[in-house]
Amino acid sequence: MASRNAASLYTLVLLSSIVLLLLSHFQVSEAQVKPPIVKGLSWTFYQSSCPQLESLVRNHLKKVFQRDIGQAAGIVRIFFHDCFVQGCDGSVLLDAVSPNDESEKDTPPNVTLRPEALQTIEDLRALVHKQCGRVVSCADLTVLAAREAVFLSGGPNFPVPLGRRDSLNFSVAGTDNLPGPFSKTGGLLSAFGAQKFDTTDVVALSGAHSFGRSHCGAFFSRISPTLDSTMDSSFAASLQAICPTDSSPNTANLDVRTPNIFDNQYYVDLMNRQGLFVSDQDLFTDARTKNIVVSFAKNQKLFFDKFSQAMIKMSQLSVLTGKQGEIRAKCSATNGRKTPSSVLSSVVEDMEELTQF
């Protein structure tokens, strides 16, 4: 009897050691997956000030995407256009100061940002500030929403460091840095290279065109008056049916195979000459990027890993942290800008915050 007890005690100790060993292994490998981050950001930034932040964002977006899956792509594009211009500081969300003025949102690359996706970021702001007070920035909410948009559409679930603050200004001139759809690979490599992205990053980030849509003007000259020789002719015929003129209000899907799913089919499209923009298709023509396209088309996990790394990198471009900038009470206006409606909404919110403490 005593020896049986000793044997089961021994088995118990052995089993617990194996469990502990496995646990410590997983902790180490998770820590290894997280890349270095810029000063001021943290993987646990809201742990005490808003511990429920990530679940609030995920649950809200699940409901939004059930109603309108197109907003997932819309949010990821807003993230890109925010980070690429003056850094991830919420500058793209700001309205112009006066009706005669213009903001980043009024410039050509941004007029096609989806208004309903911009509204969803503001709705997240209101929801989160109601629960936690005015502690989470619009810049952080944009990054978190983009991560969720990718994940909830079938893409990778990657961690994002947090702690960004919102800008006090925007840069209309900075939107010139956004590459256009008629850019060739050389142009993309220099535009992204200027922000320290390498060739693999550029091909991986272009994979965000795995979902979402485009208006006709961004590809019309490829299908009319003559057909772009790098485009498959039946694909071109389907685009001609959607876009009778370049100003037609219709839209075409960016990924002809799985338009609403975040996966690697975009690269399969490119290999079949079904990329929508010059900037997409040229990645399969240019010798510097062709093999990367093929490797992503063959291996979705490789694409997801490289995409996640590049997104984490993008999410840290020129961020404001610490005492820089502010936490906006409304994503479309700086706190100092007093329009009648912002005065009212910030008073209401300050009162809501006071009742929390």
Sequence ranges of the binding site: 82, 85, 87, 89, 91, 104, 179, 209, 255, 258, 263
Kindly report whether the peptide bond that precedes residue 225 is cis, defined as omega within 30 degrees of 0: yes
Residue 343: CB minimum distance to ligand HEM, A: 32
Q: Pick out the residues of the known binding site for heme b.
A: 209
Which is catalytic among the residues 60, 81, 129, 215?
81
Say which residue the tokens 């699940």 belong to. Answer: 62
Please work out the total of residues on this chain that contact ligand HEM, with binding judged by CB under 6 A.
25
User: Per CB under 6 A, does 77 bind ligand HEM?
Assistant: yes
CB 212 within 8 A of CB 261: no
Q: Which of 58, 60, 96, 112 binds ligand HEM (CB under 6 A)?
A: 112
Known catalytic membership, residue 25: no
Q: Which is nearer to ligand HEM, 258 or 334 (CB)?
A: 258
Write the CA distances from 187 to 52, 83, 127, 215, 252, integer angstroms.
42, 19, 40, 22, 24
User: Per CB under 6 A, does 110 bind ligand HEM?
Assistant: no
Helix axes 300-314, 138-152, angle to 10 degrees: 170
Side-chain-facing half-sphere of 90: CA atoms under 13 Å: 33
Query: What's 52-76 look like in SS3?
Result: CHHHHHHHHHHHHHHHCCHHHHHHH
Q: Pick out the residues of the known binding site for substrate.
A: 179
Q: Which of 60, 130, 184, 215 binds ligand HEM (CB under 6 A)?
A: 215
Side-chain-facing half-sphere of 262: CA atoms under 13 Å: 29
Stretch that binds ligand HEM, among 34-42, 56-64, 213-221, 321-329 (CB under 6 A): 213-221
User: Per CB under 6 A, does 209 bind ligand HEM?
Assistant: yes
Stretch that binds ligand HEM, among 122-130, 173-181, 318-326, 340-348 (CB under 6 A): 173-181
User: Per CB under 6 A, does 208 bind ligand HEM?
Assistant: yes
Q: Taking the alpha carbons of 137, 108, 70, 123 in that order, is the dihedral positive or negative?
A: positive
CB 264 within 8 A of CB 297: yes
Residue 346: CB minimum distance to ligand HEM, A: 30
Q: For residue 39, what is the DSSP state? A: T
User: How many Å apart are CA 59 and CA 43, to the nearest integer?
Assistant: 20
Q: Which of residues 228-267 bind ligand HEM (CB under 6 A)?
A: 254
User: Per CB under 6 A, does 179 bind ligand HEM?
Assistant: yes
Q: Which of 181, 313, 321, 324 binds ligand HEM (CB under 6 A)?
A: 181
Binding site for ligand HEM (CB under 6 A): 70, 73-74, 76-77, 80, 112, 114, 179-181, 183, 188, 205-206, 208-209, 212-215, 218, 254, 277, 279
Active site residues per annotation: 81
